Structure 1
Amino acid sequence: MAEVVRIVSLWIHPGQEVAFEAFEREAASIMAVHGGRIERAIRVRGAEGESPYEVHVVVFPNESAWESYRVAPKTQNLVQRRSLIIAKTSIMTGQNAGPY
């Protein structure tokens, strides 16, 4: 089975930069339990309004590992705190390309 690649764009509530970083470290540790990782995190310059604060390339070994992470009790326990920090999320599915 091919790796599952998700491109995740994240908009945060104003003033939540420090809380966001702590939250993402915790989420990444839960991902690791399910074989996932944040392969790349890009902070968008001048991220205001339309632009996301950060864009992540998230990789899991397969679809079932991704789903396992999504429904895991530890992930679900973060939902309320997440809503206080993260205003909007966009998730796209991708695949590795190149090299170019």
Structure 2
Amino acid sequence: MTLTDTQSKIVAKATKKDANGWHYLTVQGDPYEIGFQHGYLLTDEFRDAVRVYTHMTLELYGMDYSFFVNQVVKIHKDKIPEEYLEEMQGMADGFTANGFETSIDDVIG
């Protein structure tokens, strides 16, 4: 996907290095920018986590993953400080900008 000029500037301030199976991120900016950088750089890992949890919750509990996401959002979203919500929105937007459509509720879940 093509980033907007603003998104490109946000991502340009971040780096990702992989070493010995670990991902090392350097991020900077306001909470939204930090979240966007995190989401954009770790899209593949988040996509894989959602894939695993989707199958795991169905296999172990016989319930769809979305049920658990909805419950977590219902219980916790209104208790999350605004700064963290801004960062999570940035993460969701970063995942989406890198090809994995995601909402803030998905990140909270």
Asked if these proteins are the same fold (TM beyond 0.5), I'd say: no
Larger Rg: 2
Normalised by the length of structure 2, the TM-score is 0.29
Greater RCO (Cα-Cα under 8 Å, separation 6 or more): 1
Larger strand fraction of residues: 1
Normalised by the length of structure 1, the TM-score is 0.31
